[in-house]
Amino acid sequence: MGEDLSNKLVISAALAGSPVMKSQNPAVPYTPEEFGEEAKKCLDAGASTVHIHARDPRTGFPTPELEKIRAVIDAIKEKAPEIIINITSSVGLTLEQRVAPTKTFKPLISSLNTNSMNFSFGNFKTGEIVGNADGVFRNTFHMIQTLAKAMKEAKTKPELEVYDFGGLYNILFLDKQEGLFEHPLHFQFVFGTLGGVPFSFQNLAGFLNLMPSGCSWSVCGVAKDQFRAGLCAAAMGGHIRVGLEDNIRVPDGRLAKGSWEQVEWAAKVAKLAGREVATPDETRKIFNLLQ
């Protein structure tokens, strides 16, 4: 019989994302060295994967440049060789730029966004848009299929990022194509983006009721939704993503000293839920990583 990993909880740390800057939290990494050091701290705190959006070290802005991405990957491998690197597929003005990291680096796992959506930042008390009111996050069916095929060829596990119910239904539809996705699927339910669904136990239950049996799943949430979703996932058999990409603070409201401090919180939550934090080797089995 195979090893029983049902009580293990995977903690992922999203180190930077695209919009958050050092002006919001000085711990956001820009340089390869900062990414490497942060990944090591997250590994030591209990994370088994890190999700990266490489930055231009000079400007701090996200970059699709392969050599800058390579420098970040190399720095992480040097400081934390055991940790699993999850590369974004969302950075780039063209589909070719978004596909290139998968083809070039063949990561074990990569984000794959599941729907196009309005995407901005707002004041949830006043209803005012404080970001780009014309912002649209484009993930057409053509883009989804192109990225999925590239990931399958690279033996990269798609982490299916679900921002609303339309995204989940998109994947349920596309999965009818024979061979587009390797099974079992892995979903990440994203809560709290302006344009997606906020966290509620009803929304999480709705996703879980629609998700095919046998899949693995994790949650991530923006701002306070990070903690609300993580608490529920720990109790319900899911996995947790934390990190400065999604939230620059810790539960008491102060700025996080780094993504690693949120990882420490997630490890405590796992223990309170009666679960054990998964190691990188266990995570490879739980998420069915192929390489």
Per-residue model confidence as pLDDT tens digits over 24-47: 999 999 999 999 999 999 999 999
The reported pLDDT for the residue numbered 141 is 98
Please report, rounded to a whole number, the percentage of residues in the chain having pLDDT higher than 90: 93
Strands (E), the chain: 8-9, 11-14, 49-52, 84-87, 109-113, 117-118, 122-123, 128-129, 136-137, 157-162, 186-191, 216-221, 239-242, 276-277
The residue-averaged pLDDT of 70-79 equals: 98
The residue-averaged pLDDT of 155-159 equals: 98
The reported pLDDT for the residue numbered 75 is 98
Q: What is the pLDDT of residues 217-272, one digit of tens each?
A: 999 999 999 999 999 999 999 999 999 999 999 999 999 999 999 999 999 999 99
Please tell me the class of the 8-286 domain: alpha beta
| Full-model pTM | 0.97
Contact indicator for 143, 170 with CB cutoff of 8 Å: no
Q: What is the pLDDT of residues 88-136, one digit of tens each?
A: 999 999 999 999 999 999 999 999 999 999 998 888 889 999 888 999 9
Q: Which residue has 């990291």 as its token pair? A: 101
Smallest CA-to-CA distance from 189 within 179, 198, 180, 181 is with 198
The reported pLDDT for the residue numbered 291 is 67
The reported pLDDT for the residue numbered 290 is 78
